[in-house]
């Protein structure tokens, strides 16, 4: 994530819902789908993968790296409710300013605490 105070996680009050990478690529989770959740209880790790799945909602700067991977460490899942099927479009990703997170998608809600977060952007399948 960007450390530029105009574009970091705290800059616009949008938290993890809208921010920029340190390469200046905008990340708009509200225009992305949550495509996978990997939970590693023994390691206390949760890995979330989001992808721009609609070309019209993908910022030009994100076309080469349309997948955002969030790796949370030191995780304690507090609540998780998911309907069967696709995880769906991101509706909201709240951050309490400490260690609390609440992710809401079309068909899932997950609340958890985490000690550390690492965010990376990667090429998508079939993209450059």
What lies within 8 Å, CB to CB, of 26 at 6+ separation is: 18, 19, 20, 59, 61, 62
pLDDT attached to residue 34: 92
pLDDT attached to residue 124: 81
Q: pLDDT band for position 127 (50/70/90)?
A: very low
What lies within 8 Å, CB to CB, of 27 at 6+ separation is: 18, 19, 20, 21, 62, 68, 119, 121
User: What gap in Å lies between CA 64 and CA 123, rounded to an integer?
Assistant: 6
Specify the pTM.
0.83
For residue range 3-59, list pLDDT tens digits in order: 455 544 544 555 677 877 777 788 888 899 999 999 999 999 999 999 998 889 998
**Nearest residue to 18 (alpha-carbon basis) of 32, 29, 4, 3:** 29
């Amino acid at each position: 994530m960007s450390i530029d105070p105009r574009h970091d996680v705290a800059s616009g009050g949008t938290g993890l819902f809208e921010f920029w990478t340190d390469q200046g690529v905008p990340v708009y989770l509200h225009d992305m789908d949550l495509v996978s959740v990997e939970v590693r209880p023994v390691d206390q790790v949760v890995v979330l993968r989001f992808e721009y799945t609609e070309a019209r909602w993908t910022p030009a700067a994100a076309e080469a790296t349309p997948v955002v991977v969030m790796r949370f460490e030191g995780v304690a899942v507090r609540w998780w409710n998911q309907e069967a099927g696709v995880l769906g479009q991101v509706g909201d990703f709240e951050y309490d300013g400490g260690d609390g997170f609440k992710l809401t998608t079309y068909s899932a809600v997950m609340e958890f605490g985490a000690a550390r977060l690492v965010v990376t952007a990667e090429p998508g399948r079939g993209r450059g």
